[in-house]
Amino acid sequence: MKSNINIKVKNKENNLRIDVLLSNQSNKLSRSRVKVLILENNLKINNIIVTDPSRKVKLDDEIFFEVVEPKKERLTPFNYPLEIIHEDEDLIVLNKSAGISMHPGPGNYDNTIVNALINYTGNNLSNIGNELRPGIVHRIDKETSGLIVIAKNNVSHENLSNQFSEHSITRVYQALVWGKIRPQNGKIETFITRSSKNRQMMEVSLNKGKKAITNYKTLEIFENDDVPTLSLIECKLETGRTHQIRVHLSNKGNNILGDKKYKKKFKKFININPELEKCLVSLDRQFLHAKTLGFNHPKNNHWLEFSSKLPDDLEKILKKLRKIKQ
């Protein structure tokens, strides 16, 4: 079913964001749902399609907004062992393994976290936004492990989405990078946009795209005659752009170990410890782990914070490096 919203902007609405204006027009439309519909080309301002939810309206603008009901997609349940850290009637906190995608997409519509959640909950998940992403408030990359929060209803989804938008959620990652990062502790603040050379990649820009902020600190440096220089660092996100940590560290020249997409060519190692070399070469994903996740509970507003240990494949590399370092 479809319905339409037609508005001529009044004085009191002048300079409002279009997603705010439209969500104020209906008790049934959340701001998150409005954003999705705008991105799907359902908005016209002065008879021109607009796909920017943050666009500010002007006095006498004529707004036409088509409200399309979410499609009922049949998602296939996937029998996959989810590591649940916390669950209540409003949300689930998962510790995601590397190697599994968050949601269905081209080439993989069945073996994802969403399909596993459908199997586990019986589709007791929020349905705001894309019909192939029920419950998904935020994402981490397929080859990244660590903590994610899932919404079980629309009220929780909206609340958590707003916390992400307001950058009030705590997100801390650990990464092992090539070389020594300079300075050892600092803040990376840039714009990130889609790469002009490869649409599946992102890149740092001077003024295009979205602002991205990563705070980092060096935890440990590994360096001697038998070890190529590597640094264990902690990254705390202020924003959450696509591939943000990977792009920021690559731009500084400190690519994440095992990152095949944002990789850098290094000289062949000479006299490297053979056991360590075998360990490094065998890593089949990036050394990036979402270690800490903290947020206010959407119902009672109590602060919740969760931590996750490094998985065995990453911890094995650190143990080997520390042993050689001694």
State the CATH number of the domain containing residue 199: 3.30.2350.10
Could you give the CA distance from residue 147 to residue 291 in angstroms, rounded to a whole number? 7
- Quote the number of domains for the chain: 3
Using only C-alpha atoms, the chain has a radius of gyration, in whole angstroms, of 22
Q: Quick one: 40 and 100 in the same domain? A: no
Q: Quick one: 88 and 42 in the same domain? A: no
Buried b / exposed e across 308-326, counting CB within 10 Å, b at 16+? bebeebbeebbebbeebee
Q: Quick one: 223 and 255 in the same domain? A: yes
In a domain, 73, yes or no: no
* pLDDT band, residue 81 (cuts 50/70/90): very high
- Return the ∠ at Cα 241 (arms to 57 and 138), rounded to 5°: 90
Q: 210-224 and 185-194 as β-strands: parallel, antiparallel, unpaired?
A: antiparallel
Q: Quick one: 211 and 287 in the same domain? A: yes
- Return the ∠ at Cα 106 (arms to 174 and 290), rounded to 5°: 10
Q: What was the pLDDT predicted at 150?
A: 97
Question: Hunting for tokens 């981490």 — which residue is that?
Answer: 140
Q: Quick one: 142 and 233 in the same domain? A: no
Q: Quick one: 250 and 131 in the same domain? A: no
Q: Quick one: 241 and 155 in the same domain? A: no
Could you give the CA distance from residue 324 to residue 273 in angstroms, rounded to a whole number? 8
Q: What count of residues does the chain have?
A: 326
Q: What was the pLDDT predicted at 27?
A: 67
Question: Taking the model in full, what pTM does it have?
Answer: 0.79
Residue where one domain finishes, among candidates 150, 165, 180: 165
Question: Would you state the structure tokens that stand for residue 264, as one six-digit string?
Answer: 């850098």
Q: Quick one: 60 and 205 in the same domain? A: no
Taking Cα atoms as reference points, which of 92, 87, 80 lies closest to residue 116?
A: 80
* Helices H / strands E in the chain, number of each: 7, 14
Q: What was the pLDDT predicted at 326?
A: 64
Residue where one domain finishes, among candidates 149, 165, 181: 165
Q: What was the pLDDT predicted at 269?
A: 64
Torsions phi, psi of 284, nearest 5? -105, 25
Find the CATH number of the domain harbouring 35.
3.10.290.10
* pLDDT band, residue 265 (cuts 50/70/90): low
Q: What was the pLDDT predicted at 116?
A: 97
User: Where is 76: in which H helix or E strand?
Assistant: none
In a domain, 116, yes or no: yes
**Contact present, 204 and 251 (Cβ < 8 Å):** yes
Q: Quick one: 26 and 157 in the same domain? A: no
Could you give the CA distance from residue 64 to residue 175 in angstroms, rounded to a whole number? 46
Q: Quick one: 274 and 203 in the same domain? A: yes
**Contact present, 137 and 117 (Cβ < 8 Å):** no
- Contacts (Cβ under 8 Å, ≥6 apart) of 320: 275, 276, 279
Q: Quick one: 135 and 55 in the same domain? A: no
* pLDDT band, residue 1 (cuts 50/70/90): low
Tens of pLDDT, residues 156-182: 999 999 999 999 999 999 999 999 999
Q: Quick one: 210 and 235 in the same domain? A: yes
Amino acid at 121: T
Catalytic positions: 141
Is the model more confident about 250 or about 2?
250
* pLDDT band, residue 276 (cuts 50/70/90): confident
The CA–CA distances, whole Å, from 161 to 167, 169, 192 equal 10, 10, 20
Residue 226 pLDDT greater than 80, yes or no: no
* Structural domain harbouring 149: 84-165
Tens of pLDDT, residues 89-139: 999 999 999 999 999 987 788 999 999 999 999 989 998 867 789 999 999
Whole-number mean pLDDT of the chain?
91
Q: What was the pLDDT predicted at 73?
A: 61
In a domain, 77, yes or no: no
Torsions phi, psi of 11, nearest 5? -55, -45
Residue where one domain finishes, among candidates 165, 189, 223: 165
Q: 2-8 and 170-178 as β-strands: parallel, antiparallel, unpaired?
A: unpaired
Average pLDDT value for residue range 267-271: 62
The CA–CA distances, whole Å, from 315 to 108, 170, 288, 318 equal 29, 23, 11, 5
* pLDDT band, residue 245 (cuts 50/70/90): very high
- Contacts (Cβ under 8 Å, ≥6 apart) of 220: 231, 232
Tens of pLDDT, residues 283-311: 999 999 999 999 999 999 999 999 999 99
In a domain, 285, yes or no: yes
Q: What was the pLDDT predicted at 224?
A: 83
